[in-house]
């Protein structure tokens, strides 16, 4: 009985916690379907519950409006291209770099790695002006390149991959070497599959970061740029005097879809220990 | 031909003061099962890794067959290696693990399948081909690791302490499996271990390492009976050989060993060979099984070969006893028959099998006779 009560209490607390976490998301979804006049009202159902009042309270028009009137599809595509390209390239570069720093010996390895690591301590904002100056000089304003390339040097990703690859036994790489694998084959057939859990994590974090990156993408695009992304596009719903909340929430609903999809897809990698069974244990 | 020859091999790691391997010469004959044995840090694994090409050599020459392989990468040395921790690819099933090397070498699918199935049959792992390493026991993983080496049909097998992660029972079983495998494959095998029982039971010959230098190379019996020096004598054999320091005293026509609490007359043959030894100190080594209780002695008891000692500790092993004996402050171990009835603190006569006593130069620690 005591054990049952303990469980009951634990689950009650978890439910409260889950509700607190999920409430903004739930609110966003309900708000996205509301008519403009009911925006920001606490109610999630009309006062007098009839089919007519329900039709008056909720609408699908917010979604069609953001697609048709606000060119949201284009923002979505731009965000997707920027986030996907950045994530793939970041993962590739960090995995290669991480492998080299973890398993290869070269002159100045530790010094170089520590120098990279030290740059994490400098606030990102400090880089913004010089990076913008470089992008401007290169003539990359209003291009995908401007949004993607400056973020590929991801020291956190490099550190993450290096630490993960470091704990893979050397014997696996030596064994592959004796088996006849070239460096490229070792990377493709051993390193990548064995680092999948952390590759998925880094991919997801980079995708999330780029998908929601607002400031950098705002400053490297002019308002008439054809490469505006969702965060910049969402800002358009915020006027100087008023905000179109229902449209903003409908657009936000769209914008969380890829992230939610990616989380569902990648979550098994977070819990699966890929190196289990590699060596004695 | 897959003779492996090491000539004047030296290895010094960057930043190290001393050489890890110093001027090592070793010839491993074709189809021979050579064991490299020694304590931790003696350089045996480094030597194996240099043969594999996983470590660069500082100087010297390594030949596999007739080819000098100093600068040949591991994959072109025609070797296969079994690692201590198995080193199976965790994301691949057993079949893929075993066929990985063959696929990389672009063998045909049918050839790969044939080789993998053949190896799996030899090792009794046909039912495990679809499993991932994490679904296998330690013994099964070890078989897969062996299988991965076998399918390659290499000229030389290298094994780096492959049984040290297994429990005692499985280790004995796998030991026999590897011996059978060698007999069946008739390939040169170089096997590293720190376990002297593995060394004694498995190898055609043993190379004993200490401090980066080969101390002795020979077959197990030869090494056990005629250890080259005190280190080898103490390392091989369990319980270890007993050492006594002392001096040789000429008495009439006989020579007597007089040392730490022990005295006996040398045999005439020993006396003859040691007559010219003129250093003030000599060390003798007696194996625990070469000192007998009176009732179980294989040699007749005389005043020349009998000493008295007190039973200090009794270790029953079932079929035999290990007795820690004491004469004054000197302790040593003897191995006696399981039917003996030793009593603690009992003063007993011990008969020394004098022919088996080994004499070492106390200064150089090398075997004299």
**ipTM of the shown complex:** 0.86
Nearest to B138 by CA among A170, A281, A169: A281
**What torsion do the CA atoms of A232, A234, A239, A240 make, to the nearest 10 degrees?**
-50
Q: Which residue has the tokens 């390493």?
A: B133
pTM, two decimals, is 0.82
- Most A CBs within 10 Å, among B48, B53, B100, to test the A interface: B100
Percent of chain A's residues with pLDDT above 90: 49
In this predicted structure, the answer to whether residue A199 has a pLDDT above a threshold of 50 is yes
| pLDDT mean over B257-285 | 90
In this predicted structure, the answer to whether residue B71 has a pLDDT above a threshold of 90 is yes
Question: Could you give the angle at the alpha carbon of B338 between the alpha carbons of B333 and B343, nearest 5°?
Answer: 65
Nearest to A209 by CA among A45, A83, A32: A83
The domain made up of A72-279 has a fold known as MetI-like fold (1.10.3720)
How close A278 gets to chain B, by Cα (Å)? 5
Least confident of A231-240, B280-289, B304-313: A231-240
pLDDT, tens only, B44-60: 999 999 999 999 999 99
pLDDT, tens only, A14-44: 999 999 999 888 888 888 888 877 777 777 7
In this predicted structure, the answer to whether residue B206 has a pLDDT above a threshold of 90 is yes
Cα separation of the two ends of chain B: 37
> Distance between CA B339 and CA A59 in Å, rounded?
98
* Contact residues on chain B for A194, CB-CB shorter than 8 A: 90-91
How close B60 gets to chain A, by Cα (Å)? 22
Angle between helices A72-103 and A109-118 (to 10 degrees): 150
Residue B1's pLDDT band (cuts 50, 70, 90): low
> Distance between CA B59 and CA B277 in Å, rounded?
38
Q: Is-contact A135 A150, C-beta < 8 A?
A: yes
Pairing type for strands B33-37 and B188-193 reads parallel
Least confident of A192-201, A204-213, B251-260: B251-260
Pairing type for strands B156-160 and B188-193 reads parallel
| Residue B15 at interface with chain A, using a CB cutoff of 8 Å | no
pLDDT of residue A240: 60
All structural domains of chain A with their residue ranges: 2-59, 72-279
In this predicted structure, the answer to whether residue B122 has a pLDDT above a threshold of 80 is yes
> Distance between CA B167 and CA B169 in Å, rounded?
6
pLDDT of residue B22: 93
In this predicted structure, the answer to whether residue B88 has a pLDDT above a threshold of 90 is yes
pLDDT, tens only, A112-147: 999 999 988 888 888 889 999 999 999 999 999 999
SS3 B210: strand
Are A194 and B79 in contact (CB < 8 Å)?
no
Question: Could you give the angle at the alpha carbon of B160 between the alpha carbons of B158 and B161, nearest 5°?
Answer: 135
**More confident call, A257 vs B207:** B207
Phi, psi of B193 (to 5 degrees): -155, 160
Nearest CA in chain B to A279: B85
- How far CA A100 is from CA of A148, A162, A243, A279, B259, in Å, comes to 24, 8, 50, 22, 61
Nearest to B341 by CA among B367, B311, B300: B311
How close B14 gets to chain A, by Cα (Å)? 12
Are A179 and B104 in contact (CB < 8 Å)?
yes
pLDDT of residue B178: 92
- Most A CBs within 10 Å, among B84, B90, B164, to test the A interface: B90
How close A88 gets to chain B, by Cα (Å)? 22
Residue A110's pLDDT band (cuts 50, 70, 90): very high
Which residues of chain B from 90 to 149 reach within 8 Å of chain A, CB to CB? 90-91, 100-101, 104-105, 132-136, 138, 141, 148
- What would the two tokens of residue A87 be? 């994530």
Residue A277's pLDDT band (cuts 50, 70, 90): very low
* Contact residues on chain B for A280, CB-CB shorter than 8 A: 85-86, 138, 141, 165
pLDDT of residue A261: 86
Q: Is-contact B44 B38, C-beta < 8 A?
A: yes
A–B interface: beta-carbon pairs under 8 A: 83
Residues 6+ apart with CB under 8 A from B253: none
Q: Which residue has the tokens 């990076």?
A: A131
Q: Where are the alpha helices (DSSP H) in chain B?
A: 44-52, 94-104, 109-123, 138-150, 168-185, 196-202, 220-225, 230-235, 268-274
> Distance between CA A43 and CA B177 in Å, rounded?
76
Q: Which helix (H) or strand (E) holds A137?
A: helix A125-138
Nearest CA in chain B to A194: B91
| pLDDT mean over B7-15 | 93
pLDDT, tens only, A38-64: 777 777 777 777 777 777 788 888 888
**Considering chain B, what is the average pLDDT of its residues?**
93
Q: Which residue has the tokens 């978890």?
A: A14
Phi, psi of B192 (to 5 degrees): -100, 135
How close B92 gets to chain A, by Cα (Å)? 9
pLDDT, tens only, B336-350: 999 888 899 999 999
How close B40 gets to chain A, by Cα (Å)? 19
Residue A271's pLDDT band (cuts 50, 70, 90): low
Q: How many helices (H) and strands (E) does chain A have?
A: 15, 0
pLDDT of residue A36: 78
pLDDT of residue A281: 40
Nearest to A248 by CA among A230, A231, A234: A234
In this predicted structure, the answer to whether residue A280 has a pLDDT above a threshold of 70 is no
DSSP-derived letter for residue B252 is T
- Most B CBs within 10 Å, among A103, A175, A183, to test the B interface: A175
- What would the two tokens of residue B287 be? 């194996």
- Most A CBs within 10 Å, among B46, B55, B91, to test the A interface: B91
Interface of A with B (CB under 8 A): 169, 171-172, 174-181, 185, 189-190, 193-194, 196, 274-280
- The sign of the CA dihedral A12, A15, A16, A17 is positive
Are A194 and B80 in contact (CB < 8 Å)?
no
Are B104 and A180 in contact (CB < 8 Å)?
yes
Over the range B3-29, which residues count as b (16 or more CB within 10 Å of their CB) and which as e? Answer: bbbbeebebbeeeeeebbbbebebebe
In this predicted structure, the answer to whether residue B73 has a pLDDT above a threshold of 60 is yes
Nearest CA in chain B to A180: B75
């Amino acid at each position: 009985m005591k054990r049952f009560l303990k469980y009951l209490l634990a689950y009650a607390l978890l439910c409260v916690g889950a509700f607190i976490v999920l409430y903004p998301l739930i609110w966003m979804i309900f708000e996205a379907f509301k008519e403009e006049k009911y925006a920001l009202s606490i109610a999630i159902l009309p006062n007098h519950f009839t089919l007519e009042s329900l039709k008056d309270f909720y609408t699908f028009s917010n979604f069609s409006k953001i697609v048709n009137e606000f060119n949201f599809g284009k923002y979505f595509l731009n965000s997707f291209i920027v986030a996907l390209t950045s994530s793939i390239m970041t993962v590739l570069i960090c995995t290669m770099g991480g492998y080299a720093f973890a398993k290869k010996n070269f002159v100045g390895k530790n010094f170089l790695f520590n120098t990279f690591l030290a740059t994490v301590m400098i606030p990102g904002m400090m880089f913004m002006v010089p990076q913008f100056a470089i992008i401007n000089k290169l003539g990359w304003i209003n291009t995908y390149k401007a949004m993607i390339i400056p973020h590929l040097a991801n020291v956190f990703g490099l550190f993450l991959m290096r630490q993960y690859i470091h704990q893979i036994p050397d014997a696996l790489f030596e064994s592959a070497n004796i088996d006849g694998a070239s460096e490229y084959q070792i990377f493709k057939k051993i390193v990548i599959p064995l680092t999948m859990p952390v590759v998925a994590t880094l991919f997801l974090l980079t995708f999330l970061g780029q998908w929601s990156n607002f400031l950098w993408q705002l400053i490297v695009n002019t308002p008439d740029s054809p490469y505006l992304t969702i965060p910049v596009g969402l800002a358009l719903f915020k006027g100087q005097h008023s905000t179109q909340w229902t449209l903003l929430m409908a657009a936000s609903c769209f914008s969380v879809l890829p992230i939610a999809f990616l989380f569902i897809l990648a979550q098994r990698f977070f819990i699966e220990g890929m190196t289990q069974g590699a060596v004695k244990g | 031909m897959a003779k492996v020859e090491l000539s004047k091999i030296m290895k010094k790691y960057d930043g190290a003061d001393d050489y890890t391997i110093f001027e090592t010469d070793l010839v491993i004959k074709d189809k021979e099962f050579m064991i490299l044995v020694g304590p931790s840090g003696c350089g045996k694994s480094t030597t194996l890794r240099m043969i594999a090409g996983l470590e660069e050599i500082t100087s010297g020459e390594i030949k596999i067959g007739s080819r000098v392989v100093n600068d040949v990468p591991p994959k072109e040395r025609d070797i296969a290696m079994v690692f201590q921790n198995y080193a199976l690819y965790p994301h691949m099933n057993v079949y893929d693990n075993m066929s990985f090397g063959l696929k990389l070498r672009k063998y045909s699918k049918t050839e790969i399948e044939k080789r993998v199935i053949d190896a799996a049959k030899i090792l009794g792992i046909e039912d495990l081909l679809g499993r991932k390493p994490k679904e296998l026991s330690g013994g099964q993983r070890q078989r897969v690791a062996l299988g991965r080496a076998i399918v390659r049909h290499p000229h030389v097998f290298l094994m780096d302490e492959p049984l040290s992660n297994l429990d005692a029972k499985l280790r004995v079983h796998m030991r026999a499996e590897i011996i059978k495998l060698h007999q069946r494959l008739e390939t040169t095998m170089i096997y590293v271990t720190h376990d002297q029982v593995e060394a004694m039971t498995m190898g055609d010959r043993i190379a004993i390492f200490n401090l980066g230098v080969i101390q002795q190379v020979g077959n197990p019996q030869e090494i056990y009976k005629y250890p080259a020096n005190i280190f080898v004598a103490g390392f091989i054999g369990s319980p270890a050989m007993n050492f006594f320091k002392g001096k040789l005293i000429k008495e009439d026509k006989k020579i007597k060993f007089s040392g730490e609490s022990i005295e006996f007359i040398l045999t005439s043959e020993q006396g003859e060979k040691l007559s010219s030894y003129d250093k003030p100190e000599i060390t003798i080594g007696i194996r625990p099984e070469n000192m007998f209780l009176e009732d179980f002695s294989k040699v007749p008891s005389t005043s020349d070969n009998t000493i008295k000692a007190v039973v200090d500790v009794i270790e029953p092993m079932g079929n035999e006893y290990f007795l820690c004996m004491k004469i004054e402050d000197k302790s040593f171990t003897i191995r006696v028959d399981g039917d003996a009835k030793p009593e603690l603190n009992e003063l007993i006569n011990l008969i020394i099998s004098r022919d088996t006593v080994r004499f070492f130069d106390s200064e150089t620690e090398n075997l004299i006779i």
